[in-house]
């Protein structure tokens, strides 16, 4: 009889805990204001309709980053066709997502690809927008400092990240043409 009472007590306690926990309803992965959610949805549709659309894919990855979902941004890039994935614009947003995920070494490799692809040719023609090259160059300098200090996750090590940023931005250069 004691065994039966003990089992019933355990079952009643488990049932009470289950009922107290409430129902598990699905929740959106990206929880943002509705205007931003609508923008993300329209970009998702645009990417689904045109998988080779570099601008749409870049904008979707950036929207995920703005919504603090770097894993989704990385998956958008990873699911891209190879020719799209290797474009400087996609690699640049991919590097940002990797930084947000705490993968400084991988982000550095991605940004180095961007700088190599965007460096102007000897005849002066630039294959990328100037802001992409400037942003990637600055990010490479900062990421090199992070990696040199052994910091893989900048957010987990704010003091070391501040030192790396200080070291990387200590000298400003101005190019006048």
Q: Where do the domains of the chain lie, and which CATH numbers do they carry?
A: 27-168 (1.25.40)
User: How many angstroms separate the CA atoms of 77 and 94, rounded?
Assistant: 7
Structure confidence at residue 158 (pLDDT): 86
Structure confidence at residue 164 (pLDDT): 86
Instruction: Tell me how far apart the terminal alpha carbons of the chain are, to the nearest angstrom.
Output: 94
Structure confidence at residue 6 (pLDDT): 66
Give the tens place of pLDDT for each residue, 77-92. Answer: 999 999 999 999 999 9
User: How many angstroms separate the CA atoms of 167 and 146, rounded?
Assistant: 10
List, for the chain, all residue ranges whose pLDDT scores fall below the cut of 50.
Answer: none
* Integer angstrom CA distances of residue 34 from 28, 41, 57, 122, 123: 12, 10, 20, 48, 47
User: How many angstroms separate the CA atoms of 102 and 152, rounded?
Assistant: 6
């Amino acid at each position: 009889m004691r065994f039966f009472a003990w089992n019933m007590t355990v079952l009643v306690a488990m049932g009470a805990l289950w009922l107290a926990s409430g129902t598990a309803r699905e929740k959106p992965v990206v929880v943002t204001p509705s205007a931003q959610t609508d923008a993300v949805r329209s970009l998702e549709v645009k990417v689904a309709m045109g998988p080779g659309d570099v601008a749409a894919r870049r904008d979707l990855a950036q929207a995920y980053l703005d919504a603090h979902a770097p894993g989704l941004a990385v998956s958008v890039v990873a699911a891209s066709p190879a020719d799209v994935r290797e474009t400087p614009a996609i690699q640049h947003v991919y590097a940002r997502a990797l930084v947000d995920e705490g993968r400084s070494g991988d982000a550095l490799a991605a940004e180095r690809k961007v700088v190599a692809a965007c460096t102007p040719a000897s005849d002066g023609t630039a294959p990328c927008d100037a802001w992409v090259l400037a942003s990637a160059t600055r990010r490479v300098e900062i990421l090199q400092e992070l990696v040199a200090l052994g910091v893989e996750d900048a957010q987990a090590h704010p003091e070391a990240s501040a030192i790396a940023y200080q070291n990387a931005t200590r000298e400003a250069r101005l190019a006048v043409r």
